Amino acid sequence: MAARALEEAGIPTVIMGCARDIVEHVGVPRFYFSDFPLGHSAGKPHDEDSQMQTLKDALKLLETATQPRTTVESNQVWSQDASWKNDFLNIERLSPMEINALRENYKKQREAAAMLKNSAKD
């Protein structure tokens, strides 16, 4: 929605993401897709070369897209072994302890966000 508002104001956008089906369904003007785990659309963690290449490619898409709903796929590979796609946060492969830790982390993030929202109102 933010991209749509920016585009309507004459500011071109590029969405970088890892959830191709969702982003293409929404229909953004320009989409740079990385076949990486969710949350890693800006490149590999702690890998400046990967992150810089992702940024350069996304900006190139901004310059070269000639039609709406253009998707360009990154040529970077998360891992030579594609099994990460089956394992990444697959709840069936997590122990009860790991699931509880994820729940607690999520709960803390929601509480922190609520505190920020409430402090912004004051």
CA dist., res. 26 & res. 30, Å (int): 11
Residue among 55, 56, 44, 2 nearest 26 (CA): 2
> What pLDDT shows up at residue 88?
65
Q: Provide the token pair at 50.
A: 């990967």
Mean pLDDT by 10 residues, the chain (122 residues): 88 93 91 93 95 97 92 94 76 86 92 89 74
Distance between CA atoms of residues 74 and 70, nearest Å: 13
Contacts of 111 (CB under 8 A, 6+ apart): none
Tell me, what's the pLDDT at 81? Answer: 87
pTM beyond 0.75: the answer is: no
Provide the pLDDT for residue 25. 92
8 Å CB contact between 74 and 50: no
Mean of the per-residue pLDDT values of the chain: 90
